Structure formats: C-alpha cells, structure tokens
Structure 1
Amino acid sequence: MVLFGDVRFFDTTLRDGEQTPGVSLEPEEKVWIAKNLDSLGVDVIEAGSAITSEGERKGIKAVVKEGLKAEICSFARCLKTDVDYALECEVDSVHLVVSVSDLHINEKLKKDRETVKQMAVDMVEYAKRHGLIVELSGEDASRADLDYLASLYKAGVDAGADRLCFCDTVGVLRPEMTYDIFSKLSSGLKAPISIHCHDDLGLATANTVAALRGGAAQAHVTINGIGERAGNTALEEVVMVLKSLYGVNTKIVTENLYPTSKLVSRLMGIPLAPNKSLVGDNAFMHESGIHTHGLMANTMTYEPITPEIIGRKRQIVLGKHAGRTSVAMALREIGLVATDKQLDEITRQIKDLGDKGKKVTDADLMSIADSVLGIKTEARIKLIDCTVLSGNRATPTASVKVMIDDEEIVESGVGLGPVDAALNALRKSVMGVADLKLDEYRVEAITGGTDAIVEVWVKMSRDTQVISARGAGPDIIMASVQAFVEGMNRLIQEKNGISKAR
C-alpha cells in the first residue's frame, strides 16, 4: 500500500510560470492570481524573482502587502545581491537555487564542486541571519552526482536550511528512478525535501507523484502546468491524481481549480489546448453517441471524476458522432420532445452538418427541430437600429431601436466597452417584461486577417431557462448584438409571450 505524508504545495505560477516566453504580469495581476492561489490553499507562493527588475519587486511587494495565509517567497541565486533584493521585498522566504550538476558547475558557473558548495552554505547562513525561511534548491539535480548532491544538502541543513528541493531542470527523470532517489534522500536528510519538475518529455506529473510516494514532502507546481519551454508540473493534475487514484486528500480546495485555471490563462494570455487534462475545453465534453448513452446510465462509464469536483460542468455536443441519445438529451434541454421517427430525422440532419465540418450549435438544433417538428416561430423582437459611440476619453454609449411585436422601443445604455454598452441597451429594451441575464460571452475568429469574420457565442438565462445563441460577421459589436437578440427571442418565446404593456 502506498503511503503519503501531508503533501504541501509550493506554487511557482508567478515565477517559473511567468518565465513563459511572452508573459509579463502587472503588479495588480500578480496580486489577483496570488489571492486565488491563496484561496486554493497552496502553502507557498513564489511571487517572483526580486533581482529581476524594479517592476518585479513592485509586484512582489504588492503580493506581500495582501497579508495572505500562504508563505510568500522570492527566487534567489546564491548571491548576496539576490538575497538583499528579496529582503527589500519583505518576503517570508527565499527559494535559494544553486547549480549541482557537473555540466552546470563547469560550463555555466566555471567553478568547482567545493566552491559551489561553500557558496550555498554562505548564502543559507546569510539569509537565515536576516530572518528568512530558506529552501535550498539543487538546480539540474537529476543530472548530478547523487553523493555530491547529498553532501551539499547536508551542508545546507547544517547551515540552517529549513527545506531542500530537487530540481529536474530539463525533465529527464523517470518515475521509477524518481521513486528510488527520493526514498534514499528523504530517509537520509534532516530536512523535508521538495520535488520540482519540468515537462520536457511529458513526465512532470508522473515524476512528481513518484517523488511524493518516495517521501518528498512538497511539490513545486504551476497552474495549467505553465512554465519555461514545455512547462512545469500542473497543480491540478497532481491534486486530482492524488485524490482520485491514491485516495489522498490535500488542503487544496478542488472546486476552485477550474476558475483559477481560467483566470491564469486569461491574464497570462496563454490559451489552453482543448485536450489539456482536467481544465481543457474538451476534458468533460462528449459527442460520441456510445459515450453519451453510457453517461446516461452512469457518468463513471466515460469520466474518471465528476466535473463538479474541480468547478466544471459536463457538456454534450452535437456533430457527426452524435447518436439518438445525445440528440434526445439536447432536445429535452430546450424543452422539446420528438417521436422516434422525428428523432431519427433530426439526428440524420445533425450528422449531415457534422460531415460537412460544421459545428452544430444550439441555434442549428433549434432550426432543424423546428423544421422536423413543424414548429413555426417568428421573431418577436426585431432589431431596427443600433448606434455605438466610443473613444479614448468618452464613456462607451449605445442606443438601440427594436420592435417588440408591433411596438417600437428606443433605449440607450453605457458600459465598460462598446459591446457591453450595446448589450446593456438591449437588456433595458425588454427589462419591463423580461428579466434576462447574460451568463457567458465568448468570441472566436473564424477567419484570419484584419477583416476576420468573428463568431460570438452567448449563454443567457431567464428564471431557470438557459439557452445558447450565436452571431457572426466582420463587426464584433453587431455580431454580439445579433447573438443577444437571437437569445432574447428564444427565451421570450419559450416563456410564451412578451406583453405589449410597458
């Protein structure tokens, strides 16, 4: 039986994660992410590397001032200037990193083993004299001589290091090797040891879990596995592997994993691959009729965990792989019931669309269902005109003219941007008779270039009814308005009528 101790998490999203090429966070963005990491329950937040720049120090100081529960740490090389800058930021700890492989010692530092060991000892002592918690980290440890590494660790502990860290800097560890290394190190050292993995060969999570099994007390992780090159170990993966495969509950609030993932992706400008485990768009999305049929019987048939555990929802999508079961489920969600013959025809038409490479939207489903079921509906809300004013200094303002049944209504609205202003004006146009809520808004480019066609998706709700609608065109404002008007019509039609009385 595999036994784990109390697993700690050292999150380096704001340091190693921010070293992702092209990523640079403003201080307020660092604070926003740090507060979410703290709510998740991580033990240590590596807020940056204080030596980097004045702007980086400003960000680290801003995180420190938040008074979070987590320990706030700065990365530092074994140089007095690095530690001094960390002290200036008033962090709780330093992640003190020293090269330990002969490749790094000889080629990068141009020094010898004993000199490097003494550098580590001197800086541990210096940091401890100034009141810092010290985590002494061996860079490129996976390619180092393990006897030398152990001797450096022991010297660091004797100098006062509180924790140690083993860095697989270029991702060359193997899980079985990792387990053996940590079994030996954890039993022979007088300080807890961390594992810090990179994902160059796709083994970061496997190696991290193997290290924890072998006796590592703490895992270095990032949200979404972001980081230099192929990235670091993903926090969400380690947490859910421990929970679902080993029965180990950590202090991490798992329901916050997906919201935090989306926040980091947005602020850092790094979109997630659709097939990214747990947090990618497709992770809990099902199209195959066989899979959907199984899910109806028991969700565990095609899902290892329920999406709600990490703050997500299951999605059933329609396309060429859809079966009658998934089509019937989708119809029920929009309040429609079909006979077996009608269901066969709707399914056939959906597959035809899928075969043409088209994404089958809720609007497509409604159109097909209306045709097959003989439902004829006329839009009760018609957009007559929409004018938007926006500028560098002016508050974005929009005015809309709509026809609701036979009544002409003119409304205006303001917003944070031109799209927000237009949608607020539309919402006001029906406010007296329908309380509509915009739950989700998404924009995708269908074509490239400055004249790209964009597709806007909205999810809207009224009371307990929830629908999706879309709009498309070269103008993002009008595509958004088109999607919103379509959504308003569908919600109002489903509630059977909008009164003329205002």
Structure 2
Amino acid sequence: MVLFENVRFLDTTLRDGEQTPGVALNTEGKLAIARKLDELGISIIEAGSAITSEGERNAMKAVAAEGLDAEICSYCRIMQQDVDYALECDVDSIHLVAPVSDLHINVKLKKSREDVIDMAVNTTEYAKEHGLIVEISGEDASRADFEFLKKFYQKGIEAGADRACYCDTVGLLVPEKTTEIFGELADFCEVPVSIHCHDDFGMSVANTVAALNAGAKEAHCTINGIGERAGNTALEEVVMILEWLYKYDTGIKKEELYRTSRLVSRLTGIPVAINKSLVGGNAFTHEAGIHVHGLLADTSTYEPLKPEIVGRERKIVLGKHAGKSSVTLALKELGLDVDKPQLDEILLRVKELGDHGKRVTDSDLQTIAETVLDTYTEARVNLEEYNIVSGSRVMPTASVRLTVDGKEVIEADVGDGPVDAVVKGISKAVAGIADIQLEEYHVDSITGGTDALVEVRVKLSRDGKMATSRGARTDIIMASVEAVINGINQLIKENKG
C-alpha cells in the first residue's frame, strides 16, 4: 500500500469549531474564513449545520454562492428534514452523522441498531436522489461494536454514500488501535475512509496521522484545533507533520497557515496558546542565551524548520540569559553602535529586567541603549547611593551621596513626593558647581505591568542653557535620578569650577 496517497482535508472550523463555547460567527466572519480556507487549498469546507437556524442557513448560502474551489458541505442528522435544509443552502455535499455506539443509540436516539441503519440508508438515498455528495459518518465509532460499524458502513455505501467517516467523538483512540482499525476499514470499505478526531486526551493529531498512515484518505480538522471541550484535530499540525516529517505533498499552501490561524483566532475570539506548536506566539521565539548563540551559527540548531515556511518570522527576545553576542546583534538590528563599556552597562540592565521576570522587547532595549548612550563616561557628577523615607504620615525625605569632581557630597531634602525630594537633594549637592533648575518632567511606561520598564525624560536649565536627558529603569525613582544626573553632566561638561 502507498501511504498518504490522495489525502484530502475536510475543514470543520465553521461547524465543529464554531461549537466552541462562546463562539458565534456572523455571515461576514464565515465568509472570510471560508475564503481563506479555500486559498489554503482545503478540499472540503463544512460550512455549518443547516438545521441550526435561519441565520446559519443564510451564512451557509453566502459561502456556497462565493464560487470557491472547495466542496461546500453541511452537517446533517439522519433525517430528511436536515437534508432539505441543506439543499436550501445550495451545498455540494452533506456530512451525514448517525450514532453508532450502543450508548448513543439507546440513550440519545432511543432507537435500535436496525433503526439506525434504516434511517441512515433512507436519508442517504434521499440525498443522492437530490444530487448531493454523501459522507456517511459513525458518531462515537470508537465505542461502537466494530462488526456493527462495518455493517453500518456497508449498508450506507450500498445506498450510494461516497465516503465513510469514523468519528472518535470523545477522543478515546490511541495510535496503535487507530492503525489497526483503519487498516481494516480501508480494505473493507469500497469508498474513501475519513477520520474525525477530538482532543480530549491530546491524541487527536497523532491518531489522525496514524489513520492516514493506515489507509484513510481524508482528515477532518479545524484551524488552531478549536472545537467542543478540548477541541478537534489541528489542521496546521497535521499538514506540517505530513509535509515536513513524512515528506508528503499535501497541496496546502503552508506559507498561509499562520495568517489563517490569526484570522480564525481574531474572528472567533479564541486566543492561541502561546506555546502551541507552529502558530503559537513562542513557536519561533528564542530568549537570548545559548540557543541564540547556536542560531547565529545555524538556525537549524534550535529550529525544526524555518519560520517562513508557515508564514512566520523568527523573534529573539532578551532576558536574564542574554549574552553579549545576542545583545550586540539586537542593537545592530536597531541601528545602534556601542563601545564595550556601554555594551557592558546595557547587558547589565537587560539582565536586571530579566531577573524581575521580564522579557526585554525591542522598545525596551532601544530605551535602555539610548539612555546609556546619553550618559557621559567622564561624568563630573556620579550617584553613589540614595535613600528615601516616605509614607502616608511622613513628609517624603531623601538623602543622596554623590561624587562631584571626585569629592564625596552628602545632602538631604524634603519634597512633595519621593521623586521631588531626591531631585531637590541632588540639586543641593551640586549647588557648589552649578545652579540647576528642573523645567520639565515626563514619565512613560515602555511595557505594561507594575514592574514595567519606565522612561523618565527631564529638561534642566542652567544660566539659560537647556539640556534634555532620560533615564530608564523598572524603578521610577532610580530612572528619575539617572535622568537628572545625566542632564546635569550635559550642562556642566564643558566648564569646571
């Protein structure tokens, strides 16, 4: 047997995926996703369940009228009424689903096995008489009696069914059992067999691949694996497993997978887990360190495939594991050149942020680097330490210890707040060499959160001369101190005394 021969995909994002709690797509949303699925190269789009509502039917009609290359399908129960509603939507095919486990037959349908077969046969014949392609599907097949299941498929195929689908409705299959089942079904059924899995035990992708490997010709999937409970088989994962690991050409436009994932996430409101394979936020993101050192030499060291293949870009973030090479690379990408002392200081600040559990973004790094580059290496004024006393019943008081032209100076002052107090203390400490006035003070949070990197920008004046400087730290007081001292050094750098 030739493995993975003529594999097709039925995408059920618009039906099973939309059954995710809280998801309700309007007509425009269904159309947008259907167009993208068609662009991907999906063979069959299950556009919804025509029996659901008038609004659902209107949306399905719009998808069917779009003139897509994909076959447009409606979910149907084994009832003539469902087929009539599907015909009203002008679909090409129906996914005709019948309960096949005794649990579902007896408890949900309250019928006998013979009743189920009769209903399935009659509905199949009716659909075929009206020109529909029929995929007959066994719901809860993984808990059904296998001999009865084969009889169900046989009778459906004799009635005209074009495809037969096996549904692992509550995700109970394992790959070994799946291989055994589909090896037999592929030989038994005279039509292509398909696999429909749910991810209750995290096995849907593995089971789907095992089924295709054993002779199934069609896989039911959803984008991002969305669906009821733990979801359905993720289309992007099955596609890339077949393409990249088994070297089988699926015909799917791999470079559009990520954009499709983002579209579905946005329109359904379901975020993609950050650590999800291929399309998750971290899938091609590396924190600088030993991994980035390897990536710089050869990207394949810590990536199984190039991100561009699935429409992604590689991202490198900095944190406590950052090294000089990765920081240097990131700075070059920002167009910033630094010398060794400046690089050492930037790296120190990056690691400080990393120790607080923060990732250093491009904007963080740019602010840090520009702050360090603004600092004069031969500064006349340097901070040694400061202390703040503040509280609801205490006047904010700051003491500062500076070196001014190599001499230690200690001063203290009070203010309207801790920042005001420390700035006044610094001004007193440098009064011997310059009268400095704070003209403007501005704070920006570079990233969100209470431990965000903050940028403080100040405008200082001295004898009519103005200087603007900045400071960037997670501590707003330290950022303010840094900004003020940088500004002071700019104003006094040319005149000693």
TM-score by length of 1: 0.74
- Structure showing greater radius of gyration is 2
In the other structure, the counterpart of 1:307 is 307
In the other structure, the counterpart of 2:104 is 104
Distance in 1 (alpha carbons) for counterparts of 2:118 and 2:447: 55
Is residue 2:281 matched to residue 1:281? yes
In the other structure, the counterpart of 2:400 is none
Distance in 2 (alpha carbons) for counterparts of 1:70 and 1:360: 44
Distance in 1 (alpha carbons) for counterparts of 2:244 and 2:320: 32
**Which residues in structure 2 correspond to 1:145-160 (within 5 Å)?**
145-160=145-160
Q: What letter is aligned with 1:306?
A: K
In the other structure, the counterpart of 1:5 is 5
Q: How far did residue 244 of structure 1 move? A: 1.1
Contact 2:197/2:204, CA 8 A, preserved across alignment: yes
Distance in 2 (alpha carbons) for counterparts of 1:358 and 1:4: 45
In the other structure, the counterpart of 2:55 is 55
Q: What letter is aligned with 1:163?
A: R
Contact 2:7/2:250, CA 8 A, preserved across alignment: yes
Q: How far did residue 321 of structure 1 move? A: 2.2
Distance in 1 (alpha carbons) for counterparts of 2:281 and 2:295: 18
Q: How far did residue 371 of structure 1 move? A: 3.7
**Which residues in structure 2 correspond to 1:317-336 (within 5 Å)?**
317-336=317-336
Where does the alignment leave 5 or more consecutive residues of structure 1 unmatched? Answer: 377-442, 448-452, 456-502
**Which residues in structure 2 correspond to 1:61-80 (within 5 Å)?**
61-80=61-80
In the other structure, the counterpart of 2:209 is 209
Distance in 2 (alpha carbons) for counterparts of 1:23 and 1:8: 26
In the other structure, the counterpart of 2:22 is 22
Distance in 1 (alpha carbons) for counterparts of 2:365 and 2:375: 13
Distance in 2 (alpha carbons) for counterparts of 1:267 and 1:208: 26
Give secondary structure in 2 for the equivalent of 1:164.
Answer: strand
Distance in 2 (alpha carbons) for counterparts of 1:14 and 1:265: 12
Distance in 2 (alpha carbons) for counterparts of 1:168 and 1:444: 45
**CA deviation vs aligned residue, 1:238-286 (integer Å, no higher than 9, x gap):** 0000111111111100111000100000000111111011101111000
In the other structure, the counterpart of 1:231 is 231
Q: How far did residue 337 of structure 1 move? A: 3.0
Contact 2:3/2:212, CA 8 A, preserved across alignment: no
In the other structure, the counterpart of 1:489 is none
**Which residues in structure 2 correspond to 1:117-156 (within 5 Å)?**
117-156=117-156
Q: How far did residue 374 of structure 1 move? A: 4.4
**RMSD (Å), alpha carbons:** 1.9
Q: What letter is aligned with 2:174?
A: R
Contact 2:197/2:207, CA 8 A, preserved across alignment: yes
Q: What letter is aligned with 2:301?
A: T
Q: How far did residue 147 of structure 1 move? A: 0.8
Distance in 1 (alpha carbons) for counterparts of 2:360 and 2:142: 48
**CA deviation vs aligned residue, 1:164-212 (integer Å, no higher than 9, x gap):** 1000000010011101110010011101000000001000100000000
Distance 1:26 1:446, change over 3 A: farther
Give secondary structure in 2 for the equivalent of 1:57.
Answer: helix
In the other structure, the counterpart of 2:417 is none
**CA deviation vs aligned residue, 1:93-152 (integer Å, no higher than 9, x gap):** 000000001111111111111111111111100100010000000000011111110111
Q: How far did residue 218 of structure 1 move? A: 0.3
Give secondary structure in 2 for the equivalent of 1:330.
Answer: helix
Distance 1:446 1:65, change over 3 A: farther
Q: How far did residue 357 of structure 1 move? A: 2.6
Distance in 2 (alpha carbons) for counterparts of 1:41 and 1:129: 29
**CA deviation vs aligned residue, 1:428-475 (integer Å, no higher than 9, x gap):** xxxxxxxxxxxxxxx99758xxxxx9x9xxxxxxxxxxxxxxxxxxxx
Q: What letter is aligned with 1:236?
A: E
Distance in 2 (alpha carbons) for counterparts of 1:172 and 1:366: 51
In the other structure, the counterpart of 1:188 is 188
Distance 1:2 1:349, change over 3 A: farther
Distance in 1 (alpha carbons) for counterparts of 2:364 and 2:53: 52
Runs (4 or more) in structure 1 with deviation over 6 Å come to none
Contact 2:364/2:447, CA 8 A, preserved across alignment: no
Contact 1:154/1:189, CA 8 A, preserved across alignment: yes
Give secondary structure in 1 for the equivalent of 2:294.
Answer: helix
**Which residues in structure 2 correspond to 1:457-476 (within 5 Å)?**
none
Distance in 2 (alpha carbons) for counterparts of 1:114 and 1:368: 74
Q: How far did residue 343 of structure 1 move? A: 2.8
Q: How far did residue 320 of structure 1 move? A: 1.5
Contact 1:171/1:203, CA 8 A, preserved across alignment: yes
Distance 1:336 1:445, change over 3 A: closer
Q: How far did residue 326 of structure 1 move? A: 1.7
Where does the alignment leave 5 or more consecutive residues of structure 2 unmatched? Answer: 377-445, 455-497
Q: What letter is aligned with 2:358?
A: K
In the other structure, the counterpart of 1:387 is none
**CA deviation vs aligned residue, 1:12-44 (integer Å, no higher than 9, x gap):** 000000000000011111011100000000000
Contact 2:71/2:93, CA 8 A, preserved across alignment: yes
Distance in 2 (alpha carbons) for counterparts of 1:446 and 1:10: 43
In the other structure, the counterpart of 1:244 is 244
Contact 1:43/1:71, CA 8 A, preserved across alignment: yes
Distance in 2 (alpha carbons) for counterparts of 1:367 and 1:259: 31
**CA deviation vs aligned residue, 1:330-370 (integer Å, no higher than 9, x gap):** 11101123344443332221010111233323232123223
